[in-house]
Structure 1
Amino acid sequence: MASANGLVIAPGKEPLFSFGLISDVQYADILDGRSFYGVPRYYRHSIIVLQRAVERWNDHQKLKFAINLGDIVDGHCPKEQSLNTVKEVVGVFEKFRGPVYHLIGNHCLYNLPRSKLLPLLKIQSPDGHAYYDFSPVPDFRFVVLDGYDISAIGWPHDYPSTLEALKFLQEKNPNQDKNSPVGLVGLERRFLMFNGGIGKQQMEWLDGILQEATKLKQKVVVCCHLPLDPGASSKEALLWNYDEVMDVIHRYNCVKVCLGGHDHKGGHSVDSHGIHHRVLEAALECPPGTDAFGHVDVYDDRISLIGADRMESTDIYFNPQADL
């Protein structure tokens, strides 16, 4: 396992807590296919990856919770099967012996409206939004962002968030197909319909949460289905206003790690403020017999992601100059 800065882990040191981690299961009971870029996708095998993940997490016995970073059912799932398929995947997650914290992704929203999806995922957030926070121990806080707060998918057609998103896409993406990046240059390639943005209300909420975490001297892990740093992701997968979100995050020293999914190949970067960004490899793209999930051991000075098979293990040491 590679260390971010070459430090050696002291043997025998117990983590403060541990948790499971997986992203982009995108299960569907359909034949295997390929992504837009030609990458194989194993729709039926992905739920087997999830089943093995839950079994492994339960064998670990010391995991306090698990995080699903979004996209549990694929958009190619036949719509008449969407509800039962989402329930089937949620049922696998519920076999884990601890709480599971879910994020929503674009494929979740292709299948079900928020009104049906959020209760199944046990996400309780105001007005159909899907952002929230939790503290597994007093010294740490997890902040879950709703990357499709401003989005052309998932909300009713006449909803303010939908109208704002459509207006935004019309201004930013001249293509008739708003999922096409043709002609878009550099970071502009993120302005696609399968991405989304974070609205003013959620931004104010995030700022308030980080203020509170700073006062409580908590270390913060931010989770968003859409990546928040270009160094960890392809340009086409980024949150529309990732820069504005990071401007808020960079006002504080409490955020140590940002976790994301959506960009299936995975990635890792360290931004200008020393915050690590780790995008997870997709369970969907595991050939039969392989896996992509992990668990995370959390220490006072680092987190260690222990990945299975196709998920790369990562040690992330907190920047001591940015400590509270």
Structure 2
Amino acid sequence: MSMSALPLFRFGIIADPQYAAIPPHAAMDRHYANSLTKVAEAIVIFNSWDLSFVMTLGDVIDRSFKSFDDILPLYEKLRHEALFLLGNHDFSVSAGHLSEVATRLGMPSPYYSFSRHGWRFIVLDGNEISTFALPEGHPHRALAAQMLAELEAKGARNAHRWNAALSDAQFAWLGDQIAEAAAAGEKVIVMNHYPVHLPSEHGMWDSERIVALLASHDNVVAYLNGHDHVGNYGKAGACHFVNFKGVVDTESENAFAIVEVYPDRLEIRGFGREESRTLVY
């Protein structure tokens, strides 16, 4: 049996449940309330596998802070560690709750990193410079409005207020984390809500600098995201960029994945609408 016949470890991925107790949006094929059933079904399957953790790639809810009270208890049935990152819809809450979202999701901070089996996972907060995630009067809101106006003036396809950017401080932290991982002999997987490559109307406002950074380090293996519910795949440098499909789309068909990490490749096992992929590194 060759070395690579068994994975080093596995983890689960689920993107964009966008749960809310509201009727479906037929034209967009979004079935907000049905995400409770789909997430519960995904958890049953995740529990039948040996996983290091399960990451939800943002947009746990579609709107309303009380929506968290319906969907988060489902994760208590997960026998693995449940990890979260922040999506744009997670901030579709009243102004008084904006500062509580990361805490409600049990996150250590809005962006963070952790290591498993000699791999470093870097979890970004793609909403840091945005028009929605911060209270009125916050300097990041003014900066976001300025960035958006500049992109609109250029006719950029990602010039939408449902996208956002990293702060310079977070971007510097990302570079430091990649360098620290390299020094420690760790491969890196970056996770964020928003795509950065291939360019799309859902891409982060500062996609170009993020892609340039990730493509310039050979220890960065993959960047995993949600946000664009139809899914996508691209490659820049040695880095694979995988956009996972949204759970909220379609009435009953699910979308989630198990990622198996081997010494020479990532095997993505897609369930429901999610595609299976082999990513060699």
TM-score by length of 1: 0.82
Report SS of the residue matched to 2:53: strand
Q: Which amino acid aligns with 1:297?
A: E
Taking the TM superposition and a 5 Å limit, the aligned residue runs for 1:264-275 are 264-271=229-236, 273-275=237-239
Taking the aligned partners of 2:136 and 2:195, their CA distance within structure 1 comes to 26
Instruction: Give the structure 2 partner of residue 277 of structure 1.
Output: 241
Instruction: Give the structure 2 partner of residue 5 of structure 1.
Output: none
Taking the aligned partners of 1:12 and 1:286, their CA distance within structure 2 comes to 36
Tell me whether 1:15 sits opposite 2:4 in the alignment: no
2:112 to 129, 132, 138: 132
Taking the TM superposition and a 5 Å limit, the aligned residue runs for 1:127-276 are 130-137=110-117, 139-173=118-152, 185=155, 188-230=156-198, 235-271=200-236, 273-276=237-240
Unaligned runs of 5+ in 2: none
Q: Give the CA deviation at 1:252.
A: 1.6
Report SS of the residue matched to 2:48: helix
Aligned length: 279
Q: Deviations over 1:221-272 (max 9, x none)?
A: 01110001026xxx2100100111122223321101110100000011122x
Instruction: Give the structure 1 partner of residue 17 of structure 2.
Output: 25
Q: Deviations over 1:108-153 (max 9, x none)?
A: 011254422111111122xxxx11101122x201111111111111
Instruction: Give the structure 2 partner of residue 3 of structure 1.
Output: none
Instruction: Give the structure 2 partner of residue 322 of structure 1.
Output: none
Tell me whether 1:119 sits opposite 2:83 in the alignment: no
Q: Deviations over 1:80-132 (max 9, x none)?
A: xx23211221111232112111111111011254422111111122xxxx111
Taking the aligned partners of 1:56 and 1:276, their CA distance within structure 2 comes to 26
- Kept in 2, the 8 Å contact 1:263–1:279? The answer is yes
1:311 to 259, 270, 274: 274
TM-score by length of 2: 0.94
Unaligned runs of 5+ in 1: 1-8, 76-81, 175-183, 319-324
Taking the aligned partners of 1:163 and 1:12, their CA distance within structure 2 comes to 50
Taking the aligned partners of 2:210 and 2:269, their CA distance within structure 1 comes to 28
Q: Which amino acid aligns with 1:162?
A: R
Instruction: Name the % identity.
Output: 30
1:293 to 256, 260, 270: 256
Report SS of the residue matched to 2:150: helix
Q: Which amino acid aligns with 2:54?
A: A
Taking the aligned partners of 1:47 and 1:304, their CA distance within structure 2 comes to 27
Taking the aligned partners of 1:48 and 1:203, their CA distance within structure 2 comes to 37
